[in-house]
Amino acid sequence: MNEAPRSLSPHTVAASSAQAVKANSGLAQLLDSDLLHSFLASKLVVAAALMTLLMIGAALLSPLIAPHDPYDLKAVSLLDSDMPPAWEESGDRRFPLGTDDQGRDILSTILFGTRSSILIGFCSVLLAMAIGLSLGLWAGYAGGRIDSAIMRIADVQLTFPAILTALLIDGVALAIVRNHTIEGGKFWILVVAIGLSFWVQYARTVRGVTLVERNKEYVEAARLIGIGPVKIMFQHILPNVIGPVLVIATINLALAIITEATLSFLGVGLPPTEPSLGTMIQIGNKYLFSGSWWMVAFPGLTLAMLALAVNLLGDWLRDALNPKLR
Amino acid sequence: MLAFAIRRLFEAAFVMVTVALLAFVLFRFVGDPVSQMVGQDTSLEDRQRLRQELGLDDPIAVQFARFLADAARFEFGISYQMKQPVTAIIAERFPATLELALTAALFAVALGIPMGVYTGIHRDSWLSKVFLSISLIGVSLPTFLIGILLIYVFAVKFGVLPSFGRGDVVQIGFWRTGLLTGSGLKALVLPSITLGLFQMTLVTRLVRAEMLEVLRTDYIKFARARGLPQRAINFGHALRNTLVPVITVIGLQIGAIIAFAIITETVFQWPGMGLMFIQAVQNADIPIMAAYLMLVAFLFVLINFIVDLIYVRVDPRIRIYGPGASGR
């Protein structure tokens, strides 16, 4: 397969705008028919979607709706520490779900923590998707040595579970940061660690589809009128792989959120001074034996609900977009 | 068969060298080994002498070759944190993790296969729906939450099972086992359920899907037409044919179990390799991180290799292209 020469021609503009129109009508078609029907047909899926939206909304608005700012040291008092939820006998109405060992309001901490969980989840999924898409398109379109090199790397990485890869990248980054005494930036370390451990699945899927698509006539036509390979990959082939990629991304979002919580729980994620569901559970776990169940129960429940809702959405999307199951 | 095995062997060697390179880079360039080993008042000349002795001034290629030779003998130097040889630390911790991982795998198989068979045969019964809901929850709940939940119920509320440690252990040669004492077995229950639950749901779903597929085939219909008892059809004909993919997946999952043991061991303070690794990450103890990476990579590659060979041996339909082309 010869690659087309890299050159810009007046046709490129016309072709790309035509592509945009095609993508737009594709989106309209998508929203119009089967997908929406199958969505409304299952009450469970609608409930999961509402749940996800509610949690994302509450998390993003957390600075506005949280009753306290749990990370404002002036407002937090140790005198309020270890209080049970408001409906328990020694509870306080100021703290609906109780307080933790530092006197931080659990409800507010959950809201802030969910926000960082979701933000890290989204950013790392975007990163994994960007890497996986580009490498998959490149491997599938270029073929030959580039293909086998990229896929070999993917195979090596696939030998290890993603959580282990994330832990390793995170651990190495921690060691580097420690040696150079750079403070902060843990958020981005986590995003990179999780993003780099999840790209393989995208790359493999995208490569598979690209291998089929690159031999089709529209790609050949695009090549003939002199469109560069990068443009062909991203504007012509990409719309055809976006369906399965979205499915993987949805399921990966749940995985990424769980991974972030796990890393924070293990003590190598976000530091205790930054809100995170995993850190809250880690702290709460220490107080489980003294009977302070609320410190771990509410963040744990939030995390489980979030993961379950996103998983349900992902499962539904996979079945709905899979023509075999219709 | 031989050609396939040799090609797989080359691929395995490629993975190992890649991982060794990563571990070497980690070992050599993240942090300065010398400043980790000496005190603050060590003079510059002494440091330089130590560098020479450790061979840190040699060309990088020579250092990498030496690292590979050491790694082949499983020599990874002294832990920064614990000031002991890494090999000794790992030898002490390895049995704990292996016992936990194998018990978890046993639990996953012993429960997962019957549940999968049941849900495959009785598609619409209420019990199948219960099993499938459990499996969805098992997939969604993070491992550490399951562990905490189990601790809360069985250790805090009812106080029937221990929540941390291995209990009493017995030393047999170099192997320190917890399988021979009552408290050791009790201590194993909660961690192995925690670790095995996810794998169990995986086995259940896989066996169910395979059973559904097989029960539709002609030879099952023919067995029914011959008037064989239902039990003989389900277990003698159907289940037996689902086992090839199940064995493969379980084999590959043993690697995943060892990795997920990191989380379980942290929750239950289980003195295995996973806990050691996470403490090494927290303390930037590079020699232990490198050794763990190499050991786990070796285990994974070994398991993958064996599973591939078994797969080809068991299923004659797979020849040239190998399992990589057909399964994930």
Instruction: Provide the 3-class DSSP secondary structure of residue A86.
Output: coil
pLDDT at A272 over 80: no
Residue B145 to chain A, least CA–CA distance (Å): 7
CB contacts < 8 A (A, B): 111
Residue A263 and residue A166 in contact, taking contact as beta carbons nearer than 8 Å: yes
Q: Is the dihedral of CA A303, A305, A306, A311 positive or negative?
A: positive
Backbone angles phi, psi at B293, to 5 degrees: -60, -50
Residues from chain A that touch B32, judged by Cβ atoms under 8 A, are 179
Cβ-based contacts of A178 with chain B (< 8 Å): 284
What are the tens digits of pLDDT across the range B93-130? Answer: 888 898 899 899 999 989 988 888 888 888 888 888 88
d(CA A324, CA A321): 9
Distance from CA of B169 to the nearest CA of A (A): 25
Question: What is the pLDDT at residue A6?
Answer: 41
CB of A121 within 8 A of CB of A257? Answer: yes
pLDDT for A24-63, tens place per residue?
555 566 555 666 777 777 778 888 888 888 888 888 887 7
Q: What is the mean pLDDT of residues A264-277?
A: 81
Q: Do residues A70 and A299 make contact, with C-beta atoms less than 8 angstroms apart? A: no
Number of H helices, E strands in chain B: 14, 2
Higher pLDDT, A3 or B311: B311
Residue indicated by tokens 């219909």: B221
A interface residues, B as partner, C-beta within 8 Å: 152, 155-156, 159-161, 163-164, 167-168, 170-172, 174-176, 178-179, 254, 258, 261-262, 265-268, 281, 285, 288-289, 291, 293, 296, 300, 303-304, 307-308, 311
Top-confidence residue, B278 or A319: B278
Phi and psi angles of residue B85, each rounded to the nearest 5 degrees, phi first: -60, 135
In angstroms, the separation between the Cα of residue A200 and the nearest Cα of chain B is 12
Tell me which residue in A159, A176, A296 faces B30 most closely, judged by beta carbons.
A176
On the question of pLDDT at A125 being above 90, the answer is: yes
**Pick from A172, A257, A285, A167: nearest CA to B273:** A167
Tokens 């909660």 sit on residue: B190
Angle separating helix axes B2-29 and B60-72, nearest 10 degrees: 120
Judge whether B224 and B238 are in contact, CB under 8 Å.
no
* H or E segment and range at residue B120: helix B86-121
Between A179 and B276, the higher pLDDT residue? B276
B319-327 long-range contacts (CB < 8 A, ≥24 apart) are B319/B4, B320/B4, B322/B4, B322/B8, B323/B248, B324/A155, B327/B245, B327/B248
In chain A, which residues have their Cβ closer than 8 Å to the Cβ of B149?
Answer: 300
Which residues are paired to A13 by β-bridges?
none
- B239, B117 contact by CB (below 8 A): yes
- Give the pLDDT score at B191: 92
- CB contacts of A303 in chain B (<8 Å) are 142, 145
In contact, B259 and B292? CB cutoff 8 Å? no
For B140, the closest of A164, A174, A311 (CB atoms) is A311
SS3 of A15, please?
Answer: helix
Q: How many whole angstroms separate alpha carbon A46 and alpha carbon A244?
A: 21
Average pLDDT for residues A120-146, to the nearest whole number?
90
Q: Do A311 and B139 touch (CB under 8 A)?
A: yes
Long-range contacts of A291-298 (CB under 8 A, 24+ apart): A291/B156, A292/A82, A292/A84, A292/A98, A293/B152, A294/A84, A294/A85, A294/A97, A294/A98, A294/A106, A295/A98, A295/A100, A295/A101, A295/A106, A296/B148, A296/B152, A298/A97, A298/A98, A298/A106, A298/A107, A298/A110
- Which chain B residue is nearest to residue A309, measuring alpha carbons? B140
What is the pLDDT confidence band of residue A123, given thresholds at 50, 70 and 90? very high
Contact B156 A268 (CB under 8 A): no
Which of A267, A268, A304 is opposite residue B145, by nearest beta carbon?
A304
pLDDT of A180 reads: 55
The residue among B237 and A91 whose pLDDT is bigger is B237
- Tell me what pLDDT residue A31 has: 58
Q: Which residue of A has its CA nearest to B292?
A: A168
Q: B266 vs A307: CB contact, 8 Å cut-off? A: no
Closest listed residue to residue B255, CA positions, set B219, B304, B293, B213:
B304
Phi and psi based region of residue A143 (left: phi greater than 0; alpha: psi -120 to 50; beta: remaining): left
Say whether A160 and B300 touch across the interface (CB within 8 A): yes
B296: which chain A residues are within 8 Å (Cβ-Cβ)? Answer: 160, 164
Percent of chain A with pLDDT over 90: 7
Of A149, A148, A238, A160, residue with least CA distance to A202: A238
Q: Which residues of chain B neighbour A265 with C-beta distances below 8 Å?
A: 142, 144, 263, 266
Calpha distance B240→B233 (Å, rounded): 10
The half-sphere exposure of A166 on its side-chain side, counting CA atoms within 13 A, is 30
Chain A hits for B266, CB-CB cut-off 8 Å, are: 265-266
- Identify which of A132, A134, A133 has the alpha carbon closest to the alpha carbon of residue A158: A132
Measured distance CA(A113)–CA(B249) in Å, rounded:
36
Residue from A97, A136, A100, A119 nearest A234 by CA: A136
Rounded to whole angstroms, the Cα distance separating B151 from B158 reads: 10
Distance between CA atoms of residues A143 and A1, nearest Å: 8
The segment with the largest mean pLDDT, out of A48-52, A86-90, A157-161, is: A48-52
CA-to-CA distance for A222 and A226, rounded, in angstroms? 7
Half-sphere exposure in the Cβ direction for A271 (13 Å, CA): 9
Task: Considering only residues A159 and A152, tell me which one the structure prediction assigns the higher pLDDT.
Answer: A152
Give the integer Cα–Cα distance in Å for B176 and B169.
6
- Band (A325; pLDDT cuts 50, 70, 90): very low
Chain A, nearest residue to B158 by Cα: A289
DSSP string, B271-328: -SHHHHHHHHHHTT-HHHHHHHHHHHHHHHHHHHHHHHHHHHHH-TT--SS-HHHH--
Q: Are A140 and A206 in contact (CB under 8 A)?
A: yes
Nearest-CA distance B261 → chain A (Å):
10
Identify the sign of the CA torsion A74, A79, A85, A89.
Answer: negative
Q: Which residues contact B5 (CB under 8 A, 6 or more apart)?
A: B309
Torsion angle of C-alpha atoms B117, B119, B120, B122, degrees rounded to 10: 110
ipTM: 0.78
Query: What pLDDT does A3 receive?
Result: 41
**pLDDT on residue B315:** 64
Report which of B251, B188, B264 is spatially closest to residue A163, judged by C-alpha positions. Answer: B264
Most B CBs within 10 Å, among A158, A168, A190, to test the B interface: A168
In angstroms, what separates the C-alpha of B89 from chain A's closest C-alpha? Answer: 20
Contact B151 A261 (CB under 8 A): no
Q: How confident is the model at residue A16 (pLDDT cuts 50, 70, 90)?
A: very low
How distant is the Cα of A176 from the closest Cα of chain B, in angstroms?
6
Residue B310 is encoded by which pair of tokens? 């078994």
Question: Closest partner residue to B152 among A179, A268, A293, by Cβ?
Answer: A293
Q: What is the pLDDT along chain B (328 residues), one digit of tens a residue?
A: 677 788 888 888 888 888 888 888 877 776 666 666 666 677 777 777 777 777 777 777 888 888 888 877 777 777 777 778 888 888 888 888 988 998 999 999 899 888 888 888 888 888 888 888 888 777 778 888 888 888 888 888 887 888 777 777 777 777 777 777 778 888 888 999 999 988 888 888 888 888 888 888 888 888 888 888 888 888 777 887 777 777 777 777 887 888 888 889 988 888 888 889 888 887 777 788 888 888 888 888 888 888 777 777 766 665 544 444 443 3
